[in-house]
Amino acid sequence: MTIPRQFVLAAGGTGGHMVPAAALATELLRRGHYVSLISDERGVRFPGLFDGIATHILPAGRLAGGPIGYARAGLAMLRGRAMAMRLFQSQRPAAVIGFGGYPAFPALLGAFACGIPTAIHEQNAVLGRVNRLVAGRVDAIATSYADVERLKDGWRGKTHLVGNPVREAVVALRSQPYPLLEEDGIFRVLVTGGSQGASVLSEVVPDGLAMLPVSFRRRLQVTHQARIEDIDRVRARYAELSIAADLATYLPDLPEQLKWAHLVIARAGASTLAELTVAGRPAILVPLPSATDDHQTANAREMTMIGGARTIKQSAFTPIELAKQMQKLGLDPPALQNAAGRARSCGRPDAVRDLADLVESLDMPKGDMPIGEARPIKFGDQAAYA
């Protein structure tokens, strides 16, 4: 029988941090626990993620802007730590779990000061800045990849490979077959740059599709997520090329779009990669070159090496290169279906279950609760690819 407990999740205000935190919140609530969220102004603006969950906004400065900026950030974090300590003293949570982003930092500092068990979840294949600052002090580190850069040897004993939680609607796609692709049938392409879209995709993709043979181009049905400042121009370009395309600045029905997609053209954000591999959809990936520590390139490595994706550096992402890769994939349905299977093989559909098991075990004596697949990993561990 599960004993209801209070858990606090702390996440910065980007989709990459908030989506897995929301997935864990849903699972913990389903198990009968109580959940609250610590975030910033951006985090509470994501529609539908934390409806009905008590949310606390703490000051958390960003480490930027030189000495003055660092000083301001330090003061903001100290204020956030003090607020977190008062919150924890009134709630006394069983554990505090950080998902990265600056708002997680004062929450974890407050937990350390109050002696509350802690864990962090790293969505990317490179340990993020805030997670690096606290990794030595937390009780457990949950990772999404078997190989995580910037993870020190001394932390491996408390590191558990769980994967990156995705929405239940995406997990449900795993039991459904890859959409039928006939030689002369509709070829569905999903273009997404993450929660904010990506201008480079809007600049390159329409012109790249225009270079495809006419017989192939006429089969295309494109769903394209674009930035608000790009959407009218991109819509006009597709119309000029007579390519059937639906455009939006936000895709609330992304799981439904994934369900029917034969190929995805996307950035290599952590949530995007997790959804592609759980659903089993082949992709052309264009990592964001300005991402901290080039973590998107690291994220794409596993799916690319296994044959489920092709990665193109942004500097090499031209209409000609895209058209070349599209023809290699799109004109060989068996190869594309094989790529879908390879993408699926590195998905971790039980990530939220394994993370919840790990979180529940934090305030229990060692050995009292098994942790499913959330097992300690070693450098070079390849079991995740089985």
DSSP string, 213-256: -HHHHTTEEEEEE--TTTHHHHHHHHHHHT-EEEEES--TTHHH
pLDDT of residue 62: 65
Total residues belonging to the chain: 386
Give the 3-state secondary structure of residue 55. strand
Question: What's the rounded Cα separation, in Å, for the pair 210 and 10?
Answer: 45
pLDDT at 81 over 70: yes
The C-alpha atoms of residue 305 and residue 91 are separated, in whole angstroms, by: 46
**pTM for this one?**
0.88
Higher pLDDT, 210 or 76: 210
Q: What is the per-residue pLDDT across 118-171, written as a single tens digit (0 to 9) for each?
A: 999 999 999 999 999 999 999 999 999 999 999 999 999 999 999 999 988 999
Backbone angles phi, psi at 191, to 5 degrees: -115, 120
pLDDT at 252: 82
pLDDT tens digit sequence for 186-230: 999 999 987 566 899 999 999 999 999 999 999 999 999 999 999
What is the spatial distance between Cα 146 and Cα 58, in angstroms, rounded to a whole number?
32
Evaluate if residue 371 carries a pLDDT over 50: no
Buried/exposed code over 252-290 (b: 16+ C-beta within 10 A; e: otherwise): eebbebbbebbbbbbbbbbbbbbbbbbbbbbbbbbbbee
Q: What is the DSSP letter of 149?
A: B
More confident residue, 283 or 66: 283
Q: Is the pLDDT of residue 370 over 70?
A: no
- Average confidence (pLDDT) over 228-235: 95
Dist CA 31 CA 21 (whole Å): 15
- Angle at which helix 319-330 crosses helix 333-345, to 10 degrees, equals 100
Say what the pLDDT of residue 331 is. 85
Of 67 and 163, more confident: 163
Cα separation, 25 vs 307, whole angstroms:
33
Residue 383 has pLDDT above 90, yes or no: no
Please report which confidence band the pLDDT of residue 373 belongs to, taking 50, 70 and 90 as the band edges. Answer: very low
For residue 368, pLDDT over 70 is answered with no
Both tokens assigned to 48: 């539908």
Strand order in the sheet with 95-98: 54-57, 34-39, 6-10, 95-98, 118-122, 140-143, 159-161, 375-376
Asked if residue 379 has pLDDT above 80, the reply is: no
CA distance 350 to 357: 11
Q: What confidence score (pLDDT) does residue 122 get? A: 98
Selected residue with higher pLDDT from 71 and 307: 307
Q: First and final CA of the chain: distance in angstroms?
A: 33
pLDDT at 328 over 80: yes
Give the least confident one: 122-136, 274-288, 351-365: 351-365
Backbone angles phi, psi at 261, to 5 degrees: -75, 135
More confident residue, 374 or 386: 374
Which residues have a Cβ under 8 Å from the Cβ of 152 and sit 6 or more positions away?
135, 136
> Which pLDDT score is estimated for 41?
76
Q: Which of 8, 274, 255 is nearest to 123 (CA)?
A: 274
Amino acid of residue 83: M
Query: Reduced to 3 states, what is the DSSP secondary structure of residue 142?
Result: strand
**Which 8-state DSSP code applies to residue 275?**
H
Nearest to 249 by CA among 202, 187, 317, 312: 202
β-strands 375-376, 159-161: how paired? antiparallel
Q: How big is the CA angle at 272 (ends 57 and 120), to the nearest 5 degrees?
A: 45
Pick the most confident of 13-17, 41-45, 305-309: 305-309
Question: Where is average pLDDT lowest: 227-231, 365-369, 381-385?
Answer: 381-385
The pLDDT of residue 182 is 86
